[in-house]
A = this chain, B = another copy of it.
Amino acid sequence: MAATPATPAADEAYDVIVLGAGPTGENLADRAHAAGLSAVIVESELVGGECSYWACMPSKALLRPVTARSDARRVPGLRDAAEGPLDAPAVLTHRDAVAAHWKDDGQVRWLDSAGIDLVRGHGRLAGPRRVVVDGERTLTARHAVAVCTGSRPVLPPVPGLAEARPWTSRAATSSQAVPGHLVVVGGGVVGVEMATAWRALGAVVTLLVRGDGLLPRMEPFAGHLVAAALTEAGVDLRTGVEVREVRREIPGGPVTVVLDTEDEIVADELLIATGRAPRTADIGLETIGLEPGSWFDVDDSCRVTGVTGGWLYGVGDVNHRALLTHQGKYQARIAGAAIAARARGVPILESDPWGAHAATADTRAVPQVVFSDPEAASVGLTAAAAERAGHRFQVVDQDLGAIAGASLYADGYRGRARMVVDLDREVLLGATFVGPGVGELLHSATVAVAGEVPIERLWHAVPAYPTISEVWLRLLETYRG
């Protein structure tokens, strides 16, 4: 482990103190250190954070075999071979390895090699630029404190729910056994992905959604296509329902979910995936005049607004700009550069869009891939968001099944693509792709949106034939009429 003195002296001073060793905190510390600043990370759990152990990595380890099997089933010559069920123990064992068996030795070695100090324990602010760890050790920051503590799942106030000890994302990604019957509450990314994975691993899955569809932040066809596929896979999807009560008499025993329709579902496990809250309740925000448990209000360099001296940054989930690992890492790169520039006294303009110190992509070009089957991938604004933002825009849709590369990728390919074009500037505001194998296709749209590449120039970006990417050509042809 990096320099953690056995006998701390008085206050230990660093240029930058980072609370939270998830990918956001790691990247921020790395950037600061690379710019010549000393950096320390305070972490009370595992170095590597939610993403490495209870989110992106284990969930994708559970999901990748599902899509690989579906892909194999959709081509000739392999269908019979891929008919059997997934070998759940093999998948879970592999997932354990991907999650590094919930040990952070590798990540600690990386911190060490990167020259970043690590202090294990719970860090709380104790006035400006000061962090106390476990009430014992005091760190002071010459330039900045960056809060990168992320977010946590929230249980809705349903009678009996907390007492039933339901799964949240952590248990859902790390369970060592396949539940016989799993009830999932929530139709967002976590709900959809976990319903997909556990169904394929053999569970009976009931998916309960309050709204009228899945993936409500994406274009509506994303939710429609994913819902159809989940239903075909045997998931019992119920929309427009609310959970009124939950009962679990025996710990570890069956759980009864009572709906507002009076229906009762008895299952082995219950996953709640309905929302998240910032992990800022117990980090001493009250000592600097901020409200504990609130999301941070930050500028485009991720500096918390209204803090005298401008030494506090809120980076990643805590600022509620975009609750995604890659976006937290992006903010960390931007904020790290801003902290370093300010430390050197270099004037920066965090309001300069697309400059080195503004996380402009947070509002213009956030990509997301839902690793369901089919995959759903989007970047930038949906049509609804473009409408809300007051853009003059045009929506162009394309059936992906009509693309030669898609029909070769999978027999009977079903999918859809949409681009949203800014009619005033003739650039893309957003794009959405839903279908098998579209995950890697998304980045082409991310480059186009973030790069503000004019439509006329995209006409010269030729997609290789026959790939699914040829959807670009059809979208552009339709737009140009």
- Which A residues lie at the B interface, using CB under 8 A? 23, 51, 56-57, 60-61, 64-65, 68-69, 71-72, 74-84, 86-88, 90-91, 93-94, 98, 324-327, 329-330, 333, 354, 356, 360-361, 365-369, 377, 404-405, 407-409, 411, 437-444, 446-453, 456-470, 472-473
Pairs A–B under 8 Å by Cβ, sample size 7:
A68-B75, A76-B91, A77-B87, A79-B90, A356-B459, A446-B463, A450-B462
12 extra interchain contacts, Cβ-Cβ under 8 A, other than A57-B404, A442-B464? Answer: A57-B408, A65-B76, A65-B77, A69-B77, A81-B82, A356-B456, A361-B460, A369-B464, A442-B469, A447-B451, A451-B453, A451-B461
| Of B442, B456, B463, the contact of A467 (CB 8 Å cutoff) | B442
Interface contact B466-A446, CB-CB below 8 Å: no
Q: Which residues of B contact A411 (CB under 8 A)?
A: 94
Interface contact A465-B354, CB-CB below 8 Å: no
Interface contact B60-A77, CB-CB below 8 Å: no
What is the CA–CA distance of A68 and B405 in the complex, to the nearest angstrom? 14
Interface contact A450-B440, CB-CB below 8 Å: no
Interface contact A472-B443, CB-CB below 8 Å: yes
Q: Which residues of B contact A459 (CB under 8 A)?
A: 333, 356
Q: Given A440-B468, A463-B446, A82 and B72 touching (CB < 8 A)?
A: yes
Interface contact B367-A463, CB-CB below 8 Å: yes
Complex A-B, nearest 5 residue pairs according to Cβ-Cβ distance, in ascending order: A451-B453, A443-B444, A76-B94, A326-B465, A443-B469
Q: Which residues of B contact A441 (CB under 8 A)?
A: 440-441, 443
In the assembled complex, how far is the CB of residue A220 from the closest CB belonging to chain B, in whole angstroms? 20
Interface contact B90-A86, CB-CB below 8 Å: no
Interface contact B76-A465, CB-CB below 8 Å: no
Q: Given A77-B91, A404-B57, A447-B447, A377 and B464 touching (CB < 8 A)?
A: yes
What is the CA–CA distance of A97 and B460 in the complex, to the nearest angstrom? 32
What's the number of copies of this chain in the assembled complex?
Answer: 2
What is the CA–CA distance of A441 and B440 in the complex, to the nearest angstrom? 5
Q: Which residues of B contact A461 (CB under 8 A)?
A: 361, 365, 443, 446-447, 449-451
What is the CA–CA distance of A437 and B440 in the complex, to the nearest angstrom? 8
Interface contact A453-B462, CB-CB below 8 Å: no
What is the CA–CA distance of A69 and B404 in the complex, to the nearest angstrom? 20
Q: Which residues of B contact A327 (CB under 8 A)?
A: 462
Majority secondary structure of chain A interface residues (helix, strand, loop or mixed): helix
Interface contact A465-B56, CB-CB below 8 Å: yes
In the assembled complex, how far is the CB of residue A278 from the closest CB belonging to chain B, in whole angstroms? 20
What is the CA–CA distance of A472 and B458 in the complex, to the nearest angstrom? 20
What is the CA–CA distance of A368 and B462 in the complex, to the nearest angstrom? 10
Interface contact B86-A77, CB-CB below 8 Å: yes
Nearest opposing residue in chain B for A481, CB measure: B34
Which residue, A51, A366, A457, A468, has most C-beta atoms of chain B within 10 A? Answer: A457
What is the CA–CA distance of A106 and B22 in the complex, to the nearest angstrom? 55
Q: Which residues of B contact A91 (CB under 8 A)?
A: 76-77
Q: Which residues of B contact A439 (CB under 8 A)?
A: 440, 464, 467
What is the CA–CA distance of A35 and B35 in the complex, to the nearest angstrom? 56
What is the CA–CA distance of A98 and B407 in the complex, to the nearest angstrom? 9
Interface contact A467-B369, CB-CB below 8 Å: yes
Nearest opposing residue in chain B for A34, CB measure: B481
Interface contact A464-B326, CB-CB below 8 Å: yes
What is the CA–CA distance of A356 and B455 in the complex, to the nearest angstrom? 11
What is the CA–CA distance of A93 and B75 in the complex, to the nearest angstrom? 12
| Of B64, B68, B72, B444, the contact of A447 (CB 8 Å cutoff) | B444
| Of B84, B326, B404, B467, the contact of A443 (CB 8 Å cutoff) | B467
What is the CA–CA distance of A375 and B74 in the complex, to the nearest angstrom? 19
Q: Which residues of B contact A333 (CB under 8 A)?
A: 459
Interface contact A75-B64, CB-CB below 8 Å: yes
Q: Which residues of B contact A366 (CB under 8 A)?
A: 462
Q: Which residues of B contact A57 (CB under 8 A)?
A: 404, 408, 466
What is the CA–CA distance of A467 and B69 in the complex, to the nearest angstrom? 18
Q: Which residues of B contact A448 (CB under 8 A)?
A: 447, 451
Q: Which residues of B contact A368 (CB under 8 A)?
A: 464
What is the CA–CA distance of A356 and B407 in the complex, to the nearest angstrom? 30
What is the CA–CA distance of A75 and B98 in the complex, to the nearest angstrom? 12
What is the CA–CA distance of A35 and B103 in the complex, to the nearest angstrom? 64
What is the CA–CA distance of A98 and B377 in the complex, to the nearest angstrom? 28
Q: Which residues of B contact A356 (CB under 8 A)?
A: 456, 459
What is the CA–CA distance of A81 and B91 in the complex, to the nearest angstrom? 14
Nearest opposing residue in chain B for A367, CB measure: B464
Q: Which residues of B contact A325 (CB under 8 A)?
A: 465-466
Q: Which residues of B contact A442 (CB under 8 A)?
A: 464, 467, 469
